[in-house]
Chains A and B, each alone.
Chain A
Amino acid sequence: MLVTLCLTQAAQAQTGTVRGFVTDKSDGQALPGASVALVVPSGLAAGTAADNDGYYALTRVEPGRYILRITYLGYEPYQQPVDLKADDILTRNVALVPTGNELEGVVVEDQREGGAAQIIAGAQTVTPREIERIPSLDVSGDLVRYLQAMPGIVTTGDRGGQLYIRGGEPSQNLVLLDGMNLYKPFHVLGFYSAFPSDILQTADVYAGGFGAKYSGRISSVIDVATRNGNNRRYEGAVSASPFVTTALVEGPVSKGRVSFLGSARVSTVEQVASQYVDRPLPYSFGDFFGKIHAVIADNHRVSFSFIHTYDSGSLDGGIRTDHSNEIRWYNTAYGFRYLILPKHHPILGEVLFSVSRLDEELGPIEEPTRKSGIRGFNLSVNVTQNYGKSEYDWGFFFRTPVLEADLGGAYQDVDFTYKRSPNPGAYFQPDLYVGHGLRLRPGLVGQLVGQKGFFFEPRFRAIWEHGRHRVSGAAGIYRQDVVGLTDRRDVTNIFTAWTDSPLGRASRAVHALLGYNLQATGWLDLSAEGYYKKLDGIYIGEWTAYPRFTTHLKEAWGNVKGLDLRLEIRRPNFYGFVNYGLTFVKYKAIQESLRPWFGTDEIPFRPPHDRRHQVNVLATTKIKGFDLSVRWNFGSGLPYTQVRAFDGFILMDGPVDVFKEPGTSRVIYDRPFGGVLPTYHRLDVSVDRRFTLPHGVGLTLQAGAVNVYDRANLFALDLFTLQRTDQLPFVPTVGLKVEF
C-alpha cells in the first residue's frame, strides 16, 4: 500500500492523468478493449485499452494540450481536446455511438479479447460470441459448453457437470460471478451452468498459474463478469427447447444511470426431452440471476447481483421416485461491487462484498443420507494504480467460510463437522512493462489459512511479445484449506463433502507453465502450452475390500503434466479450431494394508479424471443466412479399478462359530485404477437462423442434434452389478428464441 501511495505521488509529480469509462451510448454497456489515446500533432503521446469495466487510465502524461481519441470498431470515433495541467486528474467518461449493426460481427472479431488459441500463461478470456459458436441443446449458449471444448479441461460426461481443469479437481476451482463465490455452479446436466451466454460480459479462465489477485484454491480460476442491463430501453427474450426454457429481461430503472438485468432458466428435460429419448433423463435444474447497476456519479459505480441455482437428479440413470438415491444442491449468492475513482488520486478502487451459500444433499428427499454445506461472506478491496505503461494492483480480503457436513459415516475421519475457517489476507501485484514487449507480473499473497498458520504465496507471470510471436509463462504457490471430498470410486456420486483439511494440513500446489503463440497469418493462430502442477495434501478415500462407499481418508500427493496445442482459423465466412490436450495425472498415497496385497504400501495411481488424450474440433460457417456449427469431441478412456472376483469375509478374531457368523461380502479389487474405460467421442451439430420480424422483434430458430452417430459413450459402470449407464444417445432437438 505504501508503495502504491508513493507511486501515486510520484506519478502525479509534474504530470497529469486522464481516466474514465468507455461505454456504448445505445445501451450503456462497457466496451472492453476500446483503444484510448492522447495524441498530439506529432503523433501518439500515450495510449491504452479499456478493461472489462470499460475503465481506462493514462497516467504520467506531461502537461499540455492533447486530443483524447477513443476508437472501437463499429462505433464512431470520439475525439475531444484535453488541456492537462500538472497534477491534474481528469475524468472523462465517454459513450461511443454505434455506427450500425452490420459491422457488429467485425467489431467483435477484430477487437476480441478472446479466441480459442489466445491463451496467455494459462489465461484465456471467453466472450459470449465464442460461446455461442459451440453447438448446444438450445438456442442460447452456455459457458460450460465452451469450457468443455478446451484442451486440458475434462468432464466425466453429460451428467454431473463437474470440471477437472488441468488435473485439478472440481472443488479446487475458484469460480466467481461478479466477485461472488459459486461453489458448485455447473448444472447436473453437463450442458448447462449458472452462466448462460446471454448475461455474460466476459469470463476469464485461468487454467493455472493465476496471479496474486486470486487465492484460496489450488487448481484454477473462472472469473465471470456479467454485463449490465440496458440503461436506455427495455428489452427481453424468451427461448424454449426440449431441455430448457429461458427468459431474460432488462431495462432502465433511471434512464442512462440505473439499469436492471434479470434472467431465469428452468429445465424441461425431465418433462419433455425424456419423452422422445429412449431412456430416463432424471434431472431438474434451474438458475435465476438478477443485477442492478447504477452510475452514481462520474466517478462512482455500483452494482448489486443475486443468483440462485438448484439441481437435482439421479445419476445412475433410473427413473426418479420419492425414494431415489438422488443428489440435490442449491447455490445462493448475493453481493455488491463498488467502483470508485477518487477525485484526488489516480487510482481505481473496487470494493466487493458478497455472501455465498451451497447446500448439498444425497439420498431420498425425505431422508437424505448425507448433507454438506458451505457458506460465508467474502469482503475484498482491490486497488489499481496505473503508472505509465505499468500497473500496480494491491488489495486485501477477508473470507469466513463456514463448513458443515453430516456424512452418515461416509468418511470415517470426517463424519459430522462444523468448521469456521477464517481466511484474511492481502496481496500485492505489480504489472511492470519492462520494454521491448516484455511485461512482468510478480506477486505475493499473504494469508492466514484457517488454523493452519500464516502463509506467503509468491506468484509470477510474464509475457513477451515480438511481432507475431508471443511467449508467456507463469508460476506460483497456492494453498487451499477448504476441501471438497468426493468418492473417487463412484463416478455417479458427485456429492461433495465440504470440510477443512481433515488431516491437519492445507492442500498445496505449485504451478509452472510456459506457452508460445504464433499468429501465423491474419486468420490463423497457433499456440502451444506446457504445464506442470505439483500437488500436496490432497485427500482420497482409503481402498477397502468392503463393497461399500464408506471409508477412511488418506492423504495423497501427486503431479500433473500436460501439453495443450491449439489451432484457430478465422475467415470471413468460417470460424474453427482444433485443439489437442495431452495430460498425465499421477497421484500417490500410502496405505499400509495394501502392502501384502500389492507388495508395497505406496500406491501410485491415475485418478479417475486422468484423460490422457483429448481432441476438440469446431467448425462454424454461415450459409445463406443459416449459422451452421459442428463440434467433434474425442477423449481417451478414463482409469477405473477392475475387479478380480468377489467372496466373503469373516473376522477371525476369536473362537468364531462359522455356523452362526454370516460374514460380509468382499470385493477382491485389482490394482487401484489399473483399468481403462473405452474411449469417448461424439459429434454435435446445430443450425440457427435468425429472422427480423416487424417492430424490431427477433426470432431465432434452431435445429440440432447431439451424438449424431449415436455412440454408446459410457458414463458409469457399477462394478458390483455390471449395470451400465451411458451418456446421452443421439438426441435431436429444436429450439426457438424470441427477442423483443
Chain B
Amino acid sequence: MFTATLLLLCGCETGVNPYVGDSKPFTLWGYMDASADTQKVRVFTVEQRIGLDRSGPIDAHVTSVDLDTGERREWKDSLVAFPGLGNGHVFWSAFRAQHGHRYRLEVKRSDGAASSVRVKVPSVADVQFNPEAISYQLPVRIKGDVPNLVGLEVIYEGVPVYPANPYPVGTKAPPSLVVPVHVSYADRVTRDGPDWAFRIDMKEDFIAVASEYQRDCLPKLIVLARAKLRFLSADSSWAPPDGDFDPDKLVEPTTFTNVENGYGFFGAGQTVSVSWVPPQSVQEMSGYATSVPCSTGPAPGCEIEFEPCFRCSEALTPEIRALYCPVASKRSPGSSGLRARTPGF
C-alpha cells in the first residue's frame, strides 16, 4: 500500500499540454519578381491553432529595403479569400525588383519579434535558340548570371482533332479546344560553363503529349498551335535538397527555408517565357498533324482510325460493341466498364 500511495501522489497530474511553443513569429512564402510590377509575400503567423485561415487582423508590419540603393518600402496587407479554406494575408508593394539588386524583407510583430530574409535578384536571363530550325531537336542556351532554373518546362498547346465520323454517326463534333501539356525539362538541363544548356526534343515530347491526350480520352490526332518555353530564373537560395521539389520532403519546416527567425521560403527571380510556332515540317517530324484530313461532318470513305477510350466489355452498349469491339474479343481482367468519359458523348 505504501507503493500504491507513493505512486498515487506522484501521479495526480491528469492535464496535458501538447504544445511546446515556438519563438519564431512568422512563415513567409513568395519571391521578388523582376518580371512583375507588384511584389507580394504570403505571411502566416506561427501559432498554436491549426488551419490555414488567418481571417483576423495580423500583427505584422512588412518592409523591404533595396540594399543597393537604400530605398525602403512599406508593404500593404490584403486579406485574400481562398474559397473553402478561409482567408490569408498577402502583403504587397507596387514596384519592380531590379536585376542584380539585393533586397531585405522584414516582417515585424508589434512586440519586436521579426522574421526576415535577404535575397538577390539574378541578372537578366538571355535565352538563345533558333525556333526556325528544321529539326525536332532544338539546342537551347541560357546565358547570364542565373544561379538556378526553377520549373523549367516546355508547354505544348495543341488542339485535338476529332475523327471525321464521330460516334454515333451524325453526332456533332465538339468544338476545337486548346489543351496545353507541360513537359518538364528540370532534369534535362545542365551547366555548361557559366551557361545553362539543354536540348528540346519535340519528337520525344510528342509521346508525352499524346499519352496525356490519351489519358484524358482525347484523340491522338493533334495540331500544335504553339510551343512555349518557360522557367523561373531564380536566385542562389532557390535550391531544394537534391534539386527535388518533393512536397513530402519540403513540407518539413527546415528542409527548404531561407527565412531568419521564421519559416518558409522567399526567393528572387524572373519568370521567363518564350513562345514560338515550329515550322510545319518540324511539327510533322515530331508527330503533330498539320492539317485536318477530313471534315468533321459525316464523310463516307474518309475515316480516321479512332481508338475508343474504353475497353470492350459486356458493360458496353450493344451499339458501341458492334462498332468498336471485335466479334471474337475476349473479356480481359479489369476490362469492366468505361475507363473514362469518351469525347463527344
Q: Give chain A's interface residues, CB within 8 Å of chain B.
A: 542, 544-547, 552, 578, 592-594, 596-597, 615, 617, 632, 634, 640, 642-656, 658-659, 661-668, 670, 675, 677-681, 711-714, 717, 719-722, 724
Contacts and interface: CB of A to CB of B under 8 A. Distances in A.
Interface string B15-33: 1101111101001011101
B42 A663 contact: yes
Residue from A664, A666, A721 with most neighbouring chain B CB atoms (10 Å) = A666
Contact of B10 (A592, A654, A679): A679
Contact of A711 (B14, B29, B150): B14
Given A615-B3, A666-B253, A670-B20, A659 B14 contact: no
10 tightest CB-CB pairs across the interface, nearest first?
A654-B151, A679-B11, A662-B82, A653-B245, A658-B42, A647-B27, A645-B22, A650-B29, A644-B22, A712-B14
B274 interface: no
B59 interface: no
Nearest to A719: B18
Contacts of A542: 248
Contacts of A666: 251, 253
Contacts of A658: 29-30, 40-42, 90
Contacts of A652: 29, 31, 238, 256, 265, 267
Given A663-B29, A712-B14, A596 B44 contact: no
28 contacts: A544-B251, A545-B251, A552-B248, A593-B255, A596-B252, A645-B21, A645-B48, A647-B45, A647-B47, A648-B27, A649-B29, A649-B251, A651-B245, A652-B267, A655-B31, A655-B232, A655-B269, A658-B40, A662-B52, A663-B29, A663-B42, A665-B51, A665-B52, A667-B50, A678-B14, A679-B10, A679-B11, A720-B50
A675 B20 CA distance: 9
Contacts of A632: 4
Residue from A663, A711, A713 with most neighbouring chain B CB atoms (10 Å) = A663
A655 B27 CA distance: 18
A658 B29 CA distance: 7
Contacts of A597: 252-255
A545 B252 contact: yes
Contact of A651 (B7, B11, B46, B250): B250
Nearest to B49: A646
Contacts of A719: 18
B251 A654 contact: no
A461 to B, nearest CB: 32
A417 to B, nearest CB: 16
A730 to B, nearest CB: 14
Contacts of B7: 615, 634, 679, 681
Given A545-B253, A652-B256, 7 more contacts: A617-B4, A647-B47, A648-B42, A654-B150, A655-B151, A659-B90, A678-B15
Contact of A642 (B18, B52, B245): B18
B21 A721 contact: no
A711 B8 CA distance: 10
Contact of B18 (A545, A578, A643, A654): A643
B14 A714 contact: yes
Nearest to B13: A678
A367 B15 CA distance: 36
B271 interface: yes
Contacts of B252: 544-545, 593-594, 596-597
A643 B21 CA distance: 7
Interface in B197-248: 232, 238, 241, 245, 247-248
B18 A675 contact: yes
Given A650-B42, A651-B250, A681-B11, A644 B232 contact: no
Contacts of B3: 578, 615
Contacts of B48: 643, 645-646
B73 interface: no
Nearest to B84: A662
B104 interface: no
Given A662-B88, A714-B14, A655 B254 contact: no
Contacts of A651: 245, 247, 250
B105 to A, nearest CB: 13
A596 B20 contact: no
Contacts of B19: 642-645
Residue from A650, A680, A714 with most neighbouring chain B CB atoms (10 Å) = A650
A597 to B, nearest CB: 5
B8 A681 contact: yes
B18 A722 contact: yes
Given A643-B18, A663-B42, A547 B50 contact: yes
Interface residues of B, number: 61
A668 B23 CA distance: 12
A645 B46 contact: yes
Contacts of B21: 644-645
A645 B263 CA distance: 11
Nearest to B255: A596
Contacts of A663: 29, 42, 52, 88
Contacts of A552: 248
Contacts of B45: 647
Contacts of B72: none
A546 B251 contact: yes
B42 A653 contact: no
B249 interface: yes
Given A647-B46, A654-B151, A677-B16, A634 B232 contact: no
B80 interface: yes
Contacts of B327: none
Nearest to A662: B82
Contact of A645 (B47, B82, B251): B47
Contact of A648 (B52, B78, B271): B52
B328 interface: no
Residue from B18, B21, B41, B255 with most neighbouring chain A CB atoms (10 Å) = B18
Contacts of A665: 50-52
A668 B10 contact: no
A206 to B, nearest CB: 28
A545 to B, nearest CB: 5
B85 interface: yes
B263 A678 contact: no
B309 to A, nearest CB: 23
A646 B11 contact: no
Contact of A596 (B24, B51, B254): B254
A466 B46 CA distance: 66
Contacts of A596: 241, 252, 254-255
A402 B249 CA distance: 34
B44 A648 contact: yes
A593 B4 contact: no
A714 B253 contact: no
Given A645-B22, A645-B47, A678 B16 contact: yes
Interface string B251-275: 1111110000001110101010000
Contacts of A659: 40, 78, 80, 90
Interface in B99-128: none
Contacts of B29: 648-650, 652, 656, 658, 663
Nearest to B40: A658
Contact of B11 (A593, A645, A668, A678): A678
A542 B251 CA distance: 13
B248 A634 contact: no
Contact of B50 (A640, A679, A711, A721): A721
Residue from B14, B238, B250, B267 with most neighbouring chain A CB atoms (10 Å) = B14
A108 B321 CA distance: 75
Contacts of B249: 592-593
Nearest to A712: B14
Contacts of B51: 646, 665
Contacts of A592: 249
Residue from B20, B238, B245, B267 with most neighbouring chain A CB atoms (10 Å) = B20
Nearest to A546: B251
